[in-house]
Amino acid sequence: MSTARAITSRDNPLLVRLRKLAGDPGAYRKLGEVWIEGDHLVSAFLQRGVHAPQAVITESGWQDARLAALAQGADTVAIVPDALMAGLSTLESPAPIAFAVPWTGALAPRPGLPTVVLDRLQDAGNVGAILRSAAAFGFTQVVALKGTAALWSPKVLRAGMGAHFGLHLAEACEVDALDALALPLVATSSHAEAALHEVDLPWPCAWVMGHEGQGVSAPLMARCSLALRIPQPGGEESLNVAAAAAVCLYESARQRS
């Protein structure tokens, strides 16, 4: 049974800590907690049957039976005035409910899992979208190399739409850590001779997605056993990295089935 309490002071220690958590993309690494904002993410988290220590809900949200039921999926519920939630939110229109949940810590890559490798991707929206594609197409692990946007930051979490909770996520990894995957690495290159659909793709494998402007680094490309071209009959190299990832992961899933 959840314990609910009203908090009305901006200086309450819980709210001070949560403002730090929500305001800094990498704060989860220091504080050991992740800020999950909005009913969609909260629902996705609870559907995994994972422990939720702390919920925060607005006074108006507490009057909504559906949101109140979600909040009671946490051990402790803090009910705050709507204006105080605005100070915690990373959204232009603050969500009425959020969770602070334990961060899993710095995980190491696991061998043998179908994997997506992120090489210095900067845009949080791209990173979150790739996590969604990974989850959709049967890739169960994402390995983010150093220089990639923080995987558990609020912006990446929002873009991931709950995909985080079904994936093994390793971040801030060195390139040498990819040896532990014991998988063939596959990348895309506009200069490759073979097109994506013309090759029997290995399974499981690790798809490598590179920096938005620079692509896959040369040392990492040298580790790849395959480099393939995505046909673009429109004549423009117009795919961004998230769209390219979706195409590649879909082709792996299509060939499997």
Instruction: Compute the distance between CA of residue 148 and CA of residue 252 in angstroms, rounded to an integer.
Output: 24
Q: pLDDT confidence of 234, banded at 50, 70, 90?
A: confident
Instruction: Compute the distance between CA of residue 69 and CA of residue 39 in angstroms, rounded to an integer.
Output: 11
Distances (CA, A) of 217 to 25, 83, 240: 25, 46, 16
Q: pLDDT confidence of 59, banded at 50, 70, 90?
A: very high
Q: How high is the pLDDT of residue 218?
A: 94
Strands (DSSP E) found in the chain:
3-6, 33-37, 54-58, 76-80, 97-102, 115-119, 141-145, 168-173, 185-188, 206-210, 226-228
Whether residue 206 is predicted with pLDDT greater than 80 in this model: the reply is: yes
Q: How high is the pLDDT of residue 189?
A: 86
**Mean pLDDT over each residue of the chain, to the nearest integer:** 95
Whether residue 16 is predicted with pLDDT greater than 80 in this model: the reply is: yes
Whether residue 238 is predicted with pLDDT greater than 90 in this model: the reply is: no
Q: What is the mean pLDDT of residues 149-178?
A: 96
pLDDT digits (tens, 9 = 90+) for 218-232: 999 999 999 999 988
Q: pLDDT confidence of 193, banded at 50, 70, 90?
A: confident
Q: How high is the pLDDT of residue 2?
A: 81
Longest Cα–Cα distance of the chain, Å, equals 63
- Nearest Cα neighbor of 215 from 198, 236, 240, 238 is 240
pLDDT digits (tens, 9 = 90+) for 103-156: 989 899 999 999 999 999 999 999 999 999 999 999 999 999 999 999 999 999
Q: pLDDT confidence of 84, banded at 50, 70, 90?
A: very high
Instruction: Compute the distance between CA of residue 200 and CA of residue 85 in angstroms, rounded to an integer.
Output: 51
What are the residues facing 118 on neighbouring strands?
Answer: 144, 209
**Rounded to 5°, angle at Cα 135 from 201 and 200:** 5
Q: What is the mean pLDDT of residues 43-65?
A: 94
Q: How high is the pLDDT of residue 240?
A: 92
- Given a contact cutoff of 8 angstroms between Cβ atoms, the answer to whether 15 and 87 are in contact is yes
Domains of the chain: 3-102 (3.30.1330.30), 115-256 (3.40.1280.10)
pLDDT digits (tens, 9 = 90+) for 38-50: 999 999 999 988 8
pLDDT digits (tens, 9 = 90+) for 92-106: 889 999 999 999 898
Q: pLDDT confidence of 236, banded at 50, 70, 90?
A: low
Q: What is the mean pLDDT of residues 185-200?
A: 91
- Asked whether the bond before 231 is cis by omega within 30 degrees of 0, the reply is no
Least confident interval from 7-11, 16-20, 211-215: 211-215
Q: How high is the pLDDT of residue 113?
A: 98
